[in-house]
Structure 1
Amino acid sequence: MSETLPTTRTTAVGPDRPELRQAIQEIVDSGFAGMQLRVHDERGHWAGSAGVRKLGEAAKPPTDGHFRIGSITKTFTATLVLRLVAEGRIGLDTPADAYLPEFRLDRRITVRMLLQHTSGLFSFTGEIYEDGTIVAGGVAGVGKEWMDNQFRTYRPEELVRMALSKPARFEPGTDWSYSNTNYVLVRLLIEKATDRSYAEEMRRLVLGPLGLTGTVVPGASPEIPEPHAHGYYGYEDAGRWKVADTTRFNPSWISAAGDMISTSQDLHTFFSALMSGKLLPAPLLAEMRTPHPKMGYGLGVFVEETVGGGTIFQHNGGFWGWAALMYSTPDGSKTLTGSLTSGEAELDWPALAGAFEKVKQRLVKEVFGD
């Protein structure tokens, strides 16, 4: 049986924003357990939450809570690489094989291609091809198999070799395809070029300078700092529906492609600083924000054109039981950051995804206009 979520009201700080309160409440009402949202714009700073922190309890998600940011990690990783490019430690158009010869990568694959997903490398998390064919990756799949590996530790080299055992999707630089393998290779490349760990370099060049004390590179640790909400994953086991708490989860299965933990305030601080030019020299920021024509992806960031002709930059993320949002105007003066958690045991994923996409578009319209 699924757990019933209590009727909830939103909590908020800052100037009253009824349109934002209503939007996050609609997300919760569509089937999510809870949401926290933070907006910085010309009207000031607003933070709110709706739903519950944990199933079976009445407390709302903390507006300053920690959460798993999923693929937003890629924006942090790309920023770190570009900071190292600025230091002269990494060449953006240098073959990745020059740093990682042990993998015998195609010499045409450059660091830039890894960051922009144009390498053609198979994703170790699996691929869906244009004709609908699904090819499983090397990490455990879904359902009970996935949960049985909840606390397994994967080495990044192991993830890369899983991917390299599969044929490439296309010749390097000839197409675009989102592949988590690219960013695990980038992590290893950072460590080879600096002779320090990925986490150490992230703290030295990104987290430390910005004072991001709520942001964590967890490695293989399943822990998440307090305060935090709880995420859940529903699956079938032997004909019975189960729901698992995925708050504690070893994130080494995704590594630098999606393992980080942060807060809505830290994501605001980071993305605002990045977009306003405080982290990267102007030429490198311009490189980062130049999109590939197929999907509007730059170097670790999506470039999105609004209906009214404006431009916003974003990267969202997902992790079993969690989703995260990060949007900004080009000058960093207006941001939207937040997190939501899934909760009902009998999840109707297609309907839930559709509801989230609809309300997400509404949030972006409310904050950034048409």
Structure 2
Amino acid sequence: MTLQNIIGGFCLPEIPNISATASIDDTLVIDAGTEKVHFILQVPKTGTVTHLGFRVGTITTGDDLKVGLYTVDPSTGHATTTAYGGMVAGVVTPSANTFHEVALGTNASVTKDDIVAMSVGFNSFVAGNMKISAMAAAIARAFPHVIHLAFKYGFSPLCTLKYDDGTYGALDCLPCASSEAITFSSSSTPDERALAFTPRMKNRIAGFWLLLDADADCDVVLYEGTTARATYTIDKDIRASTAARIFTYRFSTPHEPTVGADYFLAVKPGASNVTLHEFTVHDAAMMNLFSGGSDFTFASRSDGGSPWTKDATRRIWGGLIIDQLDDGAGGGGGINSAWGSIR
């Protein structure tokens, strides 16, 4: 088995289609009995859906919400009022700025590739006024997408489908429970925040990407356990903006990680603050809906201590640049990769 060049390399996790601050959009207000937010989706696999997940942002006036799956009119692209898959909608009393996973009143029998609407509205409107969350996109989405009232938006849906086998269907969206900007320095606890991962196959790590506001110089260190294998120092004066942006850099020497070992791509600031962007999920299994899946999670430590503390429900907005992969056989030549960001 031989490592083969991937022409141009690729990012894992991929660079997502998010705004510069990875912000959750909370502009989708519902405040009347007929108002709804619809997430227009493609069913990822055939089976039985038991729970629907979505996020509520600001609540001005509380009221119970109803969420269900409905058919989509192929002539207009809008949600209908016809229940899909024999489901009966679920009801929840929402909390502000919270991801809710709601059991359906009757499960939905779903068929792979069907186009459906996950619709969120009031169960029996009294005086509700609140915002339903979506994910802001750097490049507007054509599909999957969001409909608010009668208007179609290119936001990334922020929702989940849970099946009766406990798995979540991949909807090519970003179901964040939160997206946060964490400011820290060498005097913070923790003072290193990292992407934790364990390689499953031979590869070569050429560099990294991060969503970062680097208002001070900082090191980005690739650790195997607690041993530094590669380091890059980000210079705060060499960047396009003083706001948060995506940085991509290559290490001076690529590293071939050990399969099965614990690795950490860590941001290590000095005495001055930097701001790293991170996200959380409602359930650790939902990390499999993001590029890289649950193989990539969050870790942190303080003062160079050991061991690292991991969190399976959190991840930094960051990833690896990989320029070689094991071909599983041997021989020479290159692999031309056009892998990119679709989420």
Normalising TM by the smaller chain, what interval? under 0.3
* Higher percent of residues as helix: 1
Question: When the two structures are superposed, what TM-score results if normalisation uses the length of structure 2?
Answer: 0.25
Question: When the two structures are superposed, what TM-score results if normalisation uses the length of structure 1?
Answer: 0.24
* Higher percent of residues as strand: 2
